[in-house]
Amino acid sequence: MPILIIPLTILMGIAIGWSIGANDAANSMGTVVGSKVLTLKQAIVLIAVFGFLGAFLQGGHVVKTISRGIVPIDQLDKGLAVYLALVVCFGACLWVILATYWKMPISTSHSIVGAVAGAGLAIGVPVKYKVLLDIFICWIFTPVGAAVLGYLFYRIFQNTLYRVIPRKYLRITMMILVITSGCYVAYSWGANDVANATGVIAGAGVLSFRMSVIIGGLAIIFGIVTWGYKVIETIGSEITNLLPIMAFSAQLASAINVHMYTLFGMPVSTSHSIVGAIFGVGLVKGMKVVNLKIMREIIICWLATPFVSGVISFIVLKGIVVFLKK
């Protein structure tokens, strides 16, 4: 195994962490920016802080699933495992960067899971299809559950908060609720998505689980700060126009939804969760307030994600294996 492969693999893990931060920053505070509660710069600072906290404190749950739950990376020959980790990070990263350029909030979880499965098939190792099926079922329920919660929360809060809170304190209370729920989304996102950055690298034995979480978390922060604004614009204003109470309902629904899956070690999509929650909140006012064109484009990208990243990983790793055998 060439000596440069290990540092290149770590660098590729940092690259996908960066791309995850760039694409998924919007999941945490896009609604806050869209509802004009915080500026873009203020939102990015909070996302970085709470996203890293989530990654550091609870990121290990999903790292274990990504690192060895889909393909037994830890049981492969060390050299082959490192090549697999490198290719998986490359395949997922390439697709996430393209989607971010198009301002599409795709699922980085779908991208990394598809890439792991594609790489596993390329070298003929057993793919744990039962785990994949469980993940796929969770993927279906993620946006649906978030939409239901978002709808219910908005129905409840719009009928209670305005009656309970004195009018003169209403604005400041709503701002606090929206910011707090946005921080919760950032925390749950960091806890779930850090595995997408460096989970396979931990599985290959290149980094320890704790070190992979730290490096992945820092890489995600870098992505948030440098390119996170792109998808924030889509989440914050292009799906539906958000009032602060709508943003609060959507964020709380999304955060609870993702956090529950995280505790079970399931790599779900925070993008699916927040978009589903925003859609559910928007439905309270009727379908006419939801931008169905942008929703259709987002769903197409969602469906394409695991297949595109999987095909990229399959082709690249297959090529590497053929080259090494010569």
Please tell me the predicted confidence (pLDDT) of residue 126: 84
Please tell me the predicted confidence (pLDDT) of residue 319: 93
* 3-state secondary structure (DSSP) of residue 4: coil
How many CA atoms are closer than 13 Å to the CA of 186, on its beta-carbon side? 29
Place of tokens 């209670």: 160
Please tell me the predicted confidence (pLDDT) of residue 212: 84
SS3 content of the chain, % helix, strand, coil (to 5): 85, 0, 15
Tell me the pTM. Answer: 0.83
Please tell me the predicted confidence (pLDDT) of residue 294: 66
Please tell me the predicted confidence (pLDDT) of residue 289: 55
Q: Helices 60-68 and 108-123 meet at what angle, rounded to 10?
A: 30
- Rounded to the nearest 10°, the torsion over CA 162, 177, 191, 151 is 20
CB 108, CB 193: distance < 8 Å? yes
DSSP secondary structure, 28-64, as one string: HHHHHHHTTSS-HHHHHHHHHHHHHHHHHHHTHHHHH
Query: Which residues in the chain show pLDDT less than 70?
Result: 1, 25-27, 31, 105, 229-242, 286-292, 294-295, 326
